[in-house]
Amino acid sequence: MLNHWDDVRVFLAVARAQSLSGGAKLVHLDPATLSRRIARMERSVGQALFVKSPQGYVLTDVGAQWMSRAEAAERVLDFSDLGGKASMDGQVRIGAPDGCANFLLPQVCARIARDHPGLDIQIVALPRVFNLTKREADMAISVSAPSSGRQTVQKISDYRLHLAAASTYLQGKPPVLAVEDLSKHPVIGYIPDMIFDKELDYLADLGVARVPLASNSVSVQLNAIRQGAGIGVVHDFALPVVGGITRLLTDKISLERSFYLLRPQEDRTNPRLTRFAEALMHELRAEIRRLEALA
């Protein structure tokens, strides 16, 4: 078993960072010391807690069992607030769809990090749903609110999307005055069988059946639009970042979606992660409002 509270702290650091070097930064020890400490814990438990893989240090089944116990101990002791510190230290990993990850999180997280220099923020941008149960991230941003699973769900903000095209593309092309005019233009969007959330199936609502240029990445789609490859649906908050793109049919088509923050249910009493979540949601709401006003 883990005999000391300090063992719990070390175990959690390696489990969350999935590496000795990353865990060492969280607890301010060197990787060699962490390696010895983990080896000592495994001898005490009598079984391996981690297995090395190409992805780093991954919990074994026994390690996963100890993870839930260690996190429960952490919540009771509240390591992060010992000494009464109000600052946020350590590592936080956020999973997010790549539109949010590319056009919102960099500046939002930079502002939070400036106020908390001891904080290490990791942004994982993937066009899919994150598995918080497997600890792929400490928290995740989603475009829909899940109705099942052991997680807390908080609405962050609504955001808007419109049809758009590069100004250079529109020159000399048939005018787009109605939805029916889209049939005269190449449309850019998601790969149909790789749409991981029904909220992202924008083109189906517009009756678009064929997508000549498609990607599972919002950033790739936006760059294709910017290069003049056709017309697509674009987040309003991305427009001020890229420039040169004009919204179309704004009086006829305006899509609204929402971002939600998902966290493992057992983390709801973790003060450090709760403070970070509150700061993240506050900054995201403000940044979405700011960028949409410039679109």
Transcribe 229-292 into DSSP letters.
Answer: S-EEEEEGGGHHHH-SEEEE-TTT--EEEEEEEEEEGGGTT-HHHHHHHHHHHHHHHHHHHHHH
* CA–CA dist 294, 288 (Å, integer): 10
Task: Answer for the pair 249, 176: CB distance below 8 angstroms, yes or no.
Answer: yes
Task: Look at residue 85 in the predicted model and tell me its pLDDT.
Answer: 43
Q: What is the DSSP letter of 227?
A: T
Contacts of residue 67, defined as CB under 8 A and 6 or more positions apart, other chains included, come to: 11, 12, 15, 59, 135
Query: Which has the closest alpha carbon to 157: 290, 61, 39, 28?
Result: 290
Task: Answer for the pair 196, 127: CB distance below 8 angstroms, yes or no.
Answer: yes
Task: Look at residue 83 in the predicted model and tell me its pLDDT.
Answer: 38
Q: Any idea of the CA torsion for 10, 12, 17, 18, to the nearest 10 degrees?
A: 90
* CA–CA dist 46, 42 (Å, integer): 6
Q: Record the tokens describing residue 143, joined without a space.
A: 């475009």
Task: Look at residue 151 in the predicted model and tell me its pLDDT.
Answer: 80
- Cα–Cα distances (Å) from 164 to 70, 174, 234, 235, in that order, read 49, 14, 6, 9
* CA–CA dist 137, 123 (Å, integer): 9
Task: Look at residue 82 in the predicted model and tell me its pLDDT.
Answer: 39
Cross-strand pairs, 188: 213, 232
Query: Which has the closest alpha carbon to 272: 119, 99, 55, 109?
Result: 119
Task: Look at residue 177 in the predicted model and tell me its pLDDT.
Answer: 93
Task: Look at residue 162 in the predicted model and tell me its pLDDT.
Answer: 95
Task: Look at residue 112 in the predicted model and tell me its pLDDT.
Answer: 93
Task: Look at residue 79 in the predicted model and tell me its pLDDT.
Answer: 43
Query: Tens place of pLDDT for every residue, the chain, 295 residues?
Result: 455 667 888 888 888 888 888 888 777 788 898 899 899 888 888 899 999 887 788 889 888 888 878 877 766 555 444 333 445 788 899 999 999 999 999 999 999 999 888 889 999 987 666 566 566 788 999 998 877 667 889 999 999 999 999 999 999 899 999 988 998 999 999 998 888 788 888 887 777 878 999 999 999 999 999 999 999 999 999 999 888 899 999 999 999 999 999 998 777 777 888 889 999 999 999 999 999 999 8
Q: Which domains occur in the chain, in start order?
A: 1-77 (1.10.10.10), 159-256 (3.40.190.290)
Q: What is the DSSP letter of 228?
A: T
Query: Which has the closest alpha carbon to 258: 214, 278, 288, 215?
Result: 288
Nearest-5° angle of CA 115, CA 11, CA 24? 50
